[in-house]
């Protein structure tokens, strides 16, 4: 199954990141198409059912960014290809790189960034 979503949680918050380049890869589709880059942040103490996404609420941006940093640190510590992350990517760019399967768009003659960030290079 292809997957372009990852998550990390602590005792209080759960953070989810998705590149949203494809609809669900589990044999069904949402009917809305790919979401594009999207982040979720849930307060597990106040909202154990995870019904309210706080990722874009002003008072939770710092928490969201901190959790994204923790997720990125975990990728860097554990991913077998963490040494291959292209130079010059910001935090979101690195999360995209880690979340997209390496074989996506593996066309001959394309550079690594063109394969991973294909939509930025299309006409």
pTM: 0.74
- Which tokens hold the place of 78? 């554990």
Mean pLDDT, range 90-104, rounded to an integer: 81
How far apart CA 37 and CA 50 sit, in angstroms, is 19
pLDDT one-digit tens code per residue, 38-52? 899 999 999 999 999
Mean pLDDT, range 103-114, rounded to an integer: 50
Percentage of residues in the chain with pLDDT exceeding 70? 67
Total tally of structural domains belonging to the chain? 1
In terms of residue numbers, what domain contains 18? 5-121
| Domain harbouring 45, CATH code | 3.30.1120.10
pLDDT one-digit tens code per residue, 10-40? 999 999 998 876 655 555 555 665 667 889 9
């Amino acid at each position: 199954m292809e997957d372009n979503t990852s998550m990390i949680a602590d005792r209080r918050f759960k953070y989810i990141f998705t590149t949203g380049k494809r609809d669900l890869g589990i044999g069904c589709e949402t009917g809305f198409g790919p979401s594009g880059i999207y982040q979720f942040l849930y307060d597990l103490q106040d909202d154990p059912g995870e019904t309210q996404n706080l990722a874009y609420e002003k008072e939770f941006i710092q928490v969201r960014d901190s959790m994204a940093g923790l997720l990125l640190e975990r990728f860097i510590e554990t991913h077998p290809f963490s040494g291959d992350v292209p130079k010059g990517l910001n935090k979101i760019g690195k999360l995209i790189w880690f979340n997209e399967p390496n074989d996506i768009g593996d066309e001959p003659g394309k550079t690594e960034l063109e394969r991973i960030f294909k939509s930025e290079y299309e006409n």
